[in-house]
Structure 1
Amino acid sequence: MKILAVCGFGVGSSMVLKMTLDRVFKQLGIDAEVENTDLTSAKGSSPDAIFTSKEIAKDLEGATKSPVYGITKYMDQEEVKKSVVAFLENYK
């Protein structure tokens, strides 16, 4: 499965979120390809899910067919894990 971690420029905070997502998917025993990218690129892609800040999530919803999950604290594994589990429950 392909997952995107998104921030405004695709460099700083999305890399932090990517690293947390990598740890969470590994902890759950799920093989996922997690990439970090910028907002504009994310709008033109169709990953299985997009994880980003709650502010950017509002911009992405409706601009992509992929489910979008807003995260408040990128380094909080428990918060990220809850969003990943919510995604996995709806993943087909």
Structure 2
Amino acid sequence: MKKVLIVCGNGLGSSFIVEMNVKKILAEINKEAEVAHTDLTSAKSETADLILSAKDIAEHLSSHSAKVVGLSNLLDNNKIKEIRGDRRTHRFTYPGWRRHQ
């Protein structure tokens, strides 16, 4: 099962809200994933397939092995819905995605 990690500065408010939204979106499209939220410092040692965060936080996760998507607005569920997981390759795609390096 894929793991999606939602990251914000303190791992409290916004990441928790986004976690709930991602779980709701996954249920709507009949997809399963382990979804959790955390703070930036802890995220660096966590394992995940996909990390969602604000763009400014994503810059600090450039060395992470997960695909990192930095969003302009964490509460924009339409942007979150654009992220797709490929069951065959176990990779995520996101329109216009570019890995932070």
TM class by shorter chain equals 0.7 to 0.9
**Which has the larger helix fraction?**
1
Q: Which has the larger radius of gyration?
A: 2
In structure 2, the residue matched to 1:27 is: 28
- Which has the bigger relative contact order, CA under 8 A and spacing at least 6? 1
Runs of 5+ unmatched residues, structure 2: 92-101
Identity of matched residues, %: 34
Number of paired residues? 88
CA distance, structure 2, for counterparts of residue 26 and residue 70 of structure 1: 22
Unaligned 5+ segments in structure 1 are none
Distance 1:12 1:54 in 2: 17
2:90 counterpart of 1:65:
no
State TM-score, norm by structure 2.
0.79
Q: Distance in 2 between matches of 1:16 and 1:43?
A: 20
- Whichever residue aligns with residue 76 of structure 1, its letter is D
Q: Give 1 or 2: higher strand fraction.
A: 2
Q: What amino acid sits opposite 2:53 in the alignment?
A: T
The amino acid that maps onto 2:62 is E
Match of 1:37 in 2: 38
Amino acid at match of 2:41: T
Give the Å deviation of 1:7: 0.3
One-letter amino acid of the counterpart of residue 74, structure 1? L
State the shift of 1:30 in Å: 0.7
Q: CA RMSD in A?
A: 1.4
